[in-house]
Structure 1
Amino acid sequence: MEDATTLDNERWTLKWPHGVATVQALGGMLAPVRFELGAGRSVSPLHVAPWGDDPEWPGLLRALRGEWPCLPFGTTDAPPGLPEGFASKVADDEWRHGYSSNHMWRCVEQTAHTIKLRIDYPPESAIDYLERLVEAHPHAASLTVTLTVHVRHDVTLPFALHPTFAVPPEGVEVLACPYRAVHTYPVAIEPEFSQILRNRRFDSLTKLDTCEGSFDVSRLPLPQQTEELVQLEACQPPFVLRYSVDRAEVKLDWNTDDFPDAVLWISNGGRNYAPWASRNFALGVEPVSGFFDLGRVVTPSADHPLASRTGFAFTAGTPRIIRYRLSAAAY
């Protein structure tokens, strides 16, 4: 199959009385989205990477944006410096966040309120194909996404959704949702800039210890240049963000039977190389069945609180349907 950088990244748009939403072929990514809140007010909560759509960059980096599914989820190279008791393993393909994140989906149907996409996986993959339906609520500032997964044989894979939210210079409040604990990444994501203490458990997003104090990530952006990943154990959505300048609350809701946790990707200018160039500010809120983004390449120690997060079980001949919702309201 041709590389995504050589193909046209087609886009399809939904317009309804309460918003406008665009879906692109690459990754099936949803963004930008603008929700109309009434009285002339609106909010555009999904992030679009500052380099836009640049075919110089391969795979998902070409036009990184918004929300999309990742199957199998995660990186394809085990990071160096894993803690004692952790073991590395080899990923079964080269596609970070899965084949579907790095290749073009095709639109199979569009109506006034829906866009339906499909992508077929390579014949050697355990996954056969994915279908993705983006549906606008005709009477509300709300989008429902339905993902249907078809597999060729029974398989358990790390699996996540990848909603990525805008972090404007004026800030966003991370009201989040109830959770059991915050677990920090086992290594430094960006050794020059990542600061939260590694492989720790904390009680709150408001106090994540660093070598020089602590971070309160309930309001972004942070004053320090950094790049962090944490996993919220046992989330109880909806996950709520408040854009105070727009006087809007944005909610992400999902089924915890599908995704018991959420990985938060705090991108705060902490990647100084191209294409990031210290200019990417975003918050990924990634409902997940797995161990961070490491499930394909790392087995955590048996006593780690997330050691049981081995992935999502799929059964051949039984399509698995996952639904989740993104919405906004004025406050």
Structure 2
Amino acid sequence: MDTVTISAKGISVSLDLAVGHIAAMDVEADGRILKPLHRAPWVGSPRETLPESTPEGTVRLSGDFLCAPFSASDVEAAPLHGWPANSEWDVVENGAIAGGWRAVFRLRRKVMGAAIDKVFTLRDGHPFLYQEHIFSGGSGAISVAHHPMTSMRDGGRLAFSPKRVAVTPPTPLEPDPARGRFMLAYPARSGDLAQFPLAAGGAADLTDYRMQDKREDFITLVEADHAGPGWTAIARRAEKDLVLVLKNPAELPITMLWFSNGGRDYAPWSGRHLGVLGIEDGRAAVGHAASLGDNWLKREGVATAFALAEGRSVSFRHVIGGVPAAGVEPPSAIETVSDRMRILAANGTAEEVPFDGEFLRIGRSVPA
């Protein structure tokens, strides 16, 4: 596998250049190595052991990657989640900066005529990967999303920045019981994440990831209006850590959750993709054409694409990290200032960790 690894004090990140997926992320803390990101169990298997039709992004499914577009490429032909998730990237820059390391990668292909750069920044002592994607030129519009995935051996608890509503699409990911299974109701919506309708009746608590729930489920959370960053926190029980994913809601106004816990029976999934949660912060509907056309998110005032134009660039930023956590309860709130993050517990205690509070550009205007 052609990977590039960058590191700063206490953290390292490896990128699989064949598909632009993060192959590994290690955070050193309290004498431990935290691994906040997931890698599919079949990665590295001989290609001939996987179905021939499997997209490269699924063959090498790892960590986090850029989706452009998100889901179906039904405007410009490309595999699932677009060429950024399925084709080669080149190293453009890779070197030390003051207090850390910075690398720039460029997609060999263009998307809607736009060149795409992926920028990784690591800072000494910060348990976070700071990412930026920059689209230069092009025409039309593109939907985008990050696709970080974490996995849990024994489940965990989730917490979020304020959300307006949670909505499932019209049909589940795996409607055919001969191929897989799901638990949530489709379509459905709820303003209470702890009370989401189930297909079988009753309600599920979306903040409780239970290993006994074998399923593939997909749900979109719309950010509420608030002044801070959008965030997701996953307190992983067996791993005894807290996985953190942060965004600027003005850039990426939705968070799509993918619950993947043994809910697909066909290859390469084969019931072995267990305890996985995708935290897919995006500016998208499901599919490129849907993102550009009329969709339920637009009707509720939520942007689902960035406009592209020659002589113009658009960018968005994202942060992934991990810190040790003794308990299984996620934070009640997360606050950021210029140089640190405060992770607030329900009992009122707070932990502070180094954080670049300016990176996400909270409060600044965002191009359409």
TM-score scaled by length of structure 1: 0.84
Q: Which deviations, in whole Å up to 9, do the C-alpha atoms of 1:15-46 show, x marking residues without a partner? A: 333122211113311131111112x1232110
Bigger CA drift: 192-201 or 245-254? 245-254
For 2:136 and 2:43, the matched residues in 1 are separated by: 31
**Shift, 1:321, TM fit:** 2.3
**Unpaired runs of 5+ in structure 2?**
49-53, 326-368
1:103-114 → structure 2 map (5 Å cutoff): 103-112=87-96, 113-114=101-102
1:85-234 → structure 2 map (5 Å cutoff): 90-112=74-96, 113-122=101-110, 125-153=111-139, 155-166=140-151, 168-191=152-175, 192=177, 193-212=181-200, 213-234=202-223
1:42-61 → structure 2 map (5 Å cutoff): 42-54=33-45, 55-56=47-48, 57-61=54-58
Q: Which deviations, in whole Å up to 9, do the C-alpha atoms of 1:104-145 show, x marking residues without a partner? A: 1111222242332111325xx523211111111112212111
Aligned length: 304
Aligned residues of 1:234 and 1:260 also touching (Cα < 8 A):
yes
Work out which of the residue numbers 310, 321, 328 in structure 2 matches 1:316: 310
Aligned residues of 1:75 and 1:297 also touching (Cα < 8 A):
no
Q: Which deviations, in whole Å up to 9, do the C-alpha atoms of 1:140-169 show, x marking residues without a partner? A: 21211121111223x222211111112x22
Bigger CA drift: 317-326 or 207-216? 207-216
Matched, 1:269 2:262: yes
Aligned residues of 2:55 and 2:79 also touching (Cα < 8 A):
no
Matched, 1:286 2:270: no
Structure showing greater relative contact order (alpha-carbon pairs closer than 8 Å, 6 or more residues apart): 1
Q: Secondary structure at the match of 1:60?
A: helix
Bigger CA drift: 300-309 or 216-225? 300-309
Q: What corresponds to 1:13 in structure 2?
A: 5
Aligned CA RMSD, in angstroms, stands at 2.3
For 2:170 and 2:247, the matched residues in 1 are separated by: 26
Q: What corresponds to 1:82 in structure 2?
A: none
**Shift, 1:50, TM fit:** 0.8
For 1:319 and 1:211, the matched residues in 2 are separated by: 43
Aligned residues of 1:173 and 1:218 also touching (Cα < 8 A):
yes
Aligned residues of 1:12 and 1:115 also touching (Cα < 8 A):
no
For 2:314 and 2:199, the matched residues in 1 are separated by: 44
**Unpaired runs of 5+ in structure 1?**
1-8, 77-89
Q: Secondary structure at the match of 2:135?
A: strand
TM-score scaled by length of structure 2: 0.76
Identity %, equivalent residues: 22
Q: Which deviations, in whole Å up to 9, do the C-alpha atoms of 1:184-219 show, x marking residues without a partner? A: 121021012123111211123322222323322312
For 2:297 and 2:306, the matched residues in 1 are separated by: 21
For 1:216 and 1:222, the matched residues in 2 are separated by: 13
Q: What corresponds to 2:66 in structure 1?
A: 69
For 1:128 and 1:278, the matched residues in 2 are separated by: 38
